Amino acid sequence: MMRTRGLLAGLAASMLLLVGAGTAAAAPINVPWSPDDALDSEVSFESGGITFYGSLRMPVGDTRGVALVLPGSGPTDRNGNSGDLQLNTTAYVADELSRRGIASLRFDKLGSGRTGLAGVDPNNPPGFDAQVDNAADALAFLQQRTGVGADRTTVIGHSEGALTALRLADADSAAFTHVGLLEPLSIRYLDLLTAQVDRNIGEAVAVGQFTEEQAASSRDRFAQAVTDIRAGQPLSAEPDPIVDGLGLRQSATFLREADATDPADLAAALPDSYSSFLTCSDKDLNVSCGQVENVRVALGHTDLHFAHFANSSHMLGELG
């Protein structure tokens, strides 16, 4: 079991192994961190009629490979930041990759950064399938810009981004041959959300915020919402603090599309020729190592590099 000090540097070294570029020494690192914008080139690409803006990080010297870096859930920008949560997770991934000769592209998702919401119909927001299409267009842009082919291309996804990476491979497995899954969403999307809600309700009962009866009622209403989303049915209009707080009505299409496939099934369907890198952490409160085990087993037919960390947070920061 590993500590987090060398997590991203170890990832970069593993990515070099995946693209056949030899080994690299790990350096102690941690997040949060502020990226050096001077190292990045501002770029843009089109996807679904929307202009996406991002940063292309080129290494100093020869380019040994390229990586598309996909962040986690929500309106997350190119650096892995969302709202007041400024951890620069994906920017640090890009930095460590660059130091080892791997060029990378990261971009502002819809609703974040320079991309924003321009061109988006607020009454018909894009779903998860559109997010996968955005990633495919980003990957094509990266390969065209750098001239690097699929054999030296990696797609790295953090959290929800890992599901996007797996769906990308499922749609076109020939577009790249290496995949990195960092603290990945490892069970069906709505199953994970249900587990997180159930834990939070249990904690509310423990501190006296909910009675057992209120907890049971909240769990039942949430379970019904999940059933309705999966069936493509409208959710109950009755106000519910959990359903409303999570914005399930507004994001029902996105959730239904993201929930449609089990990440373990997607991992099992990767070609045998793929190389893969996978992480989990004992202190990740969003995704458990028990859940990630499903994906680890499913990746067994690939050239798998697995890192089980002791003290990493879900956002890849070092915890005590």
Secondary structure, 3-state, the chain: CECHHHHHHHHHHHHHHHCCCCCCCCCCCCCCCCCCHHHEEEEEEEECCEEEEEEEECCCCCCCEEEEEECCCCCCCCCCCECCECCCHHHHHHHHHHHCCEEEEEECCCCCCCCCCCCCCCCCCCCHHHHHHHHHHHHHHHHHHHCCCHHHEEEEEECHHHHHHHHHHHHCHHHCCEEEEECCCCCCHHHHHHHHHHHHHHHHHHCCCCCHHHHHHHHHHHHHHHHHHHHCCCCCCCCCHHHHHCCCCCCHHHHHHHHCCCHHHHHHCCCCCCEEEEEEECCCCCCCHHHHHHHHHHHHHCEEEEEEECCECCCCCECC
Note the pLDDT tens digit of each residue in 257-282: 999 999 999 999 999 999 999 999 99
Under 8 Å between Cβ of 127 and 251 = no
CATH of domain 4-187+262-309: 3.40.50.1820
The per-residue pLDDT for 5 is: 46
Model confidence at 70: pLDDT above 80 = yes
Note the pLDDT tens digit of each residue in 197-221: 999 999 999 999 999 999 999 999 9
Residues of the chain with CATH 3.40.50.1820: 4-187+262-309
Averaged pLDDT for residues 53-67: 93
> Any idea which residue has 């001239």 for tokens?
147
The per-residue pLDDT for 124 is: 85
Note the pLDDT tens digit of each residue in 134-154: 999 999 999 999 999 999 999
Pick the closest to residue 72 from 258, 204, 246, 201 (CA basis): 258
Summary mean pLDDT of the chain: 89
Averaged pLDDT for residues 158-163: 97
> What percentage of the chain carries pLDDT values higher than 90?
76
The pair phi, psi for residue 41, each rounded to 5°, is: -110, 130
> Any idea which residue has 């409208």 for tokens?
234
Note the pLDDT tens digit of each residue in 88-136: 999 989 988 998 899 999 999 999 999 999 888 878 889 999 999 999 9
Task: Report the C-alpha gap between 315 and 183 in whole angstroms.
Answer: 8
The per-residue pLDDT for 35 is: 54
The per-residue pLDDT for 4 is: 45
pTM for the model = 0.90
pLDDT band at 36 (very low <50, low <70, confident <90, very high): low
The per-residue pLDDT for 289 is: 97
Within a 13 Å sphere around the CA of 227, how many CA atoms are in the beta-carbon half? Answer: 7
Model confidence at 25: pLDDT above 50 = no
Model confidence at 79: pLDDT above 90 = yes
The per-residue pLDDT for 119 is: 84
Averaged pLDDT for residues 4-10: 54
Q: Cβ atoms within 10 A of the Cβ of 200, count?
A: 13
pLDDT band at 83 (very low <50, low <70, confident <90, very high): confident
